[in-house]
Amino acid sequence: MTEFFQTIMGKKFYEGTVPRIASALDRIANSLEFLANPNAGLPDGGNECPICRAGTVEDVGTEIVCRGECGTIWLKKWPWVHGVPASPKTPYRGTWGDNSVQFPRLLAEISANVGISSADWAGLCESMDLNHDELEELFNRAHEEWERIKENT
């Protein structure tokens, strides 16, 4: 009998899901540690993010934003909020319901942040009746469109 870790689903779980869970738990622990110290104040721009510890924070006027993996936003006006997680809607509130914006965004973010295994790529090609180059072109077009949208927003 094949063991779970030897299956495609098991491989995805151990190589994809488990690392994401560990990363999320690390961010939760860092957030709780940061929130436990109410006198910590806002992080200073240019310093390491106290939540994900993977990026630096940037002062952008009314907010301080983590440019790392967590995307945490701190509001500077009183009462300021410790680590308000960035909603997927935050940067582009007015376009949340616009599929011509959100679909390229989704494909570009999947490609950039999640990745697609060889088996998934082959399955996508087969289910969409595309060859490898056509599917790659589709993701590249989505990325280019998303970059264009960000520049014009």
Distance CA 5, CA 148 (A): 41
Give the type of residue at 143: H
Name beta bridge partners: 56.
Answer: 48
> Residue 150's pLDDT is what?
81
Distance CA 21, CA 12 (A): 13
Tally the C-alpha atoms within 13 A of residue 18's C-alpha that lie toward its C-beta.
Answer: 8
DSSP H or E run through 123: helix 118-128
Q: Where are the chain's structural domains?
A: 4-75, 93-151
Mean pLDDT by 10 residues, the chain (153 residues): 87 88 80 62 70 77 75 58 42 60 83 76 86 88 86 75
